[in-house]
Structure 1
Amino acid sequence: MEPDPWPLAPELPRPVIMAQRWTDAVFLHWRVPRPVAASFMPVGVVPDEFDGSAWVGLIGFRMQGAGVGRGPGIPYFGSFNEVNVRLYSREPDGTRGVVFLSLDASRLAVVLAARAAGIPYVWSRGHFRAATPDGSVGYSVRRLRGGEGSDFAVVPQFDADADDPLSVHLTARFGLHSRFRGNTLYIPNAHGPWPLFRAELTELEDELVAAAGIAVSGPPDSVLFSPGVHTQFGRPRVL
């Protein structure tokens, strides 16, 4: 397989509908069989494989300054911690995306608005665990209904850039595929390359991947950290 350098984000369809910053991102990924991932794909897309496997991710980050269009971030509601479980998708023309299985967040208004648009947000309590004396950062989340939760932490290795093809494959994603009123939507976004670093896993007690319907075992096959990027979302399209 040819190395896949960081791609440039496609031109964002106008108008810009939302802008936000994602910071302190922790990426944990496991291999999963293609048929497992395929069962979660919306109509019109298939699992986007790498090295013969589909991949499921458990991702934690801090949403900061989310706002409508190019305007300023919405006070309070525009900043929160998020933990999501996601798979990776591909259209027949090669367009890559993300399929979210769940997104846990603490802002009820955001959860309700996103669910109305077909994005599976879940209302949860969670917090970001800032750098400790050993340098670890992480996230802790607990759902208000059902009680499932996740606790994970990593120590970023800032002297070890993660620019290998797998790391790029898992993070160079410029849109999401979702189901909405019987249709498959693609919602594009654009951002620069993640500043990506390898990381050492120091803690993992997770129930969210299993709650989404996917069984994984053992430590993640990929562990990454990024200080973050600024991103914009453009006009959705129907497949």
Structure 2
Amino acid sequence: MDQRWEDAVFLHWRIPVPAAAARMPPGVRPDVVDGSAWVGLVGFRMHRIRLGAAVPLPWLGSFPEINVRLYSREPDGTRGVVFLSLDAPRLAVVLGARAAGLPYVWSQCRAVGPGRSDPGVGYDVRRRGGRTTSAFAVRPDPTVRADDELSVELTARFGLHSRFAGRTVHVPVSHEAWTLHPATVTHVVDGLVAAAGIDVEGPPASVLYSSGVRTRIGRPRTVRGT
């Protein structure tokens, strides 16, 4: 699939390595960055979805997706993302992705900004039934590039690890490097990370924004030994 991810907001907290290890699929371990495992709360707008590079899927439209993620590494060094949850408002996307083994949740999701008078960018989520909600927003600084090693390590992920048909698979994702900017949290009241079974305290240790990238999702392969 070919698609564009726009107005990406990255919130990251440090967590103990054992907490991440307990959620890894067989065959991969937590990827330790700057001495810690990390959990990310990431929101962006999915746009221009295509099958391959030629067949557009305009009926899916543009919609926000909010995910909770951990970071993984295979014995050969291949790195990836392990999704604990992915919230989206398009039922067809949710059903198709769940059939492929990804933990999508059909939710009410809304993107906020940026606007002319307010450069803030954020996302609101309410899961069906209303028991789990999330609302977070940041104000990016477009005059500064976040090109430090930690920011790049937390976002330069070119694949995901998941379980499918009893095996651990790696799905490659290719895109240009994110153009990252540091950002300030304007508010965060989140229940998605806790609902995924991860405990965090205090404000996120890393807050980043990117206007977006075009991505291509490739064919999965089975992780050796699983």
Q: TM-score range by the shorter chain?
A: over 0.9
Q: Who is 1:6 aligned against?
A: none
- 1:184 pairs with 2:168: yes
> 72-81 or 150-159: which moved more?
72-81
Match of 2:39 among 36, 56, 80: 56
User: Matches of 1:94 and 1:170 in 2, distance apart?
Assistant: 15
Match of 2:205 among 221, 228, 234: 221
The CA deviation at 1:52 is 1.4
Q: Who is 1:140 aligned against?
A: 124
User: Matches of 2:140 and 2:221 in 1, distance apart?
Assistant: 37
- 1:42 pairs with 2:21: no
Match of 1:104 among 87, 95, 106: 87
The CA deviation at 1:37 is 0.2
Aligned residues: 222
- 1:152 pairs with 2:152: no
- 1:238 pairs with 2:204: no
Q: Which residue identity does 2:175 align to in structure 1?
A: H
Q: Which residue identity does 1:197 align to in structure 2?
A: H
Query: Which residues of structure 1 form unaligned runs of 5+?
Result: 1-17
The CA deviation at 1:168 is 0.7
Structure 2 SS opposite 1:209:
helix
* TM norm structure 2: 0.96
Q: Who is 1:79 aligned against?
A: 62
Match of 1:165 among 149, 152, 165: 149
Match of 1:211 among 195, 203, 206: 195
* TM norm structure 1: 0.91
Query: Which residues of structure 2 form unaligned runs of 5+?
Result: none
User: Matches of 1:137 and 1:228 in 2, distance apart?
Assistant: 13
Q: Who is 1:25 aligned against?
A: 8
- 1:66 pairs with 2:78: no
Cα RMSD for the two superposed structures: 1.0
Q: Which residue identity does 2:63 align to in structure 1?
A: F
Q: How many percent of aligned residue pairs carry the same amino acid?
A: 63
Structure 1 SS opposite 2:199:
coil
Classify 1:183/1:145 alpha carbon distance in 2 versus 1 (closer, same or farther; 3 Å): farther
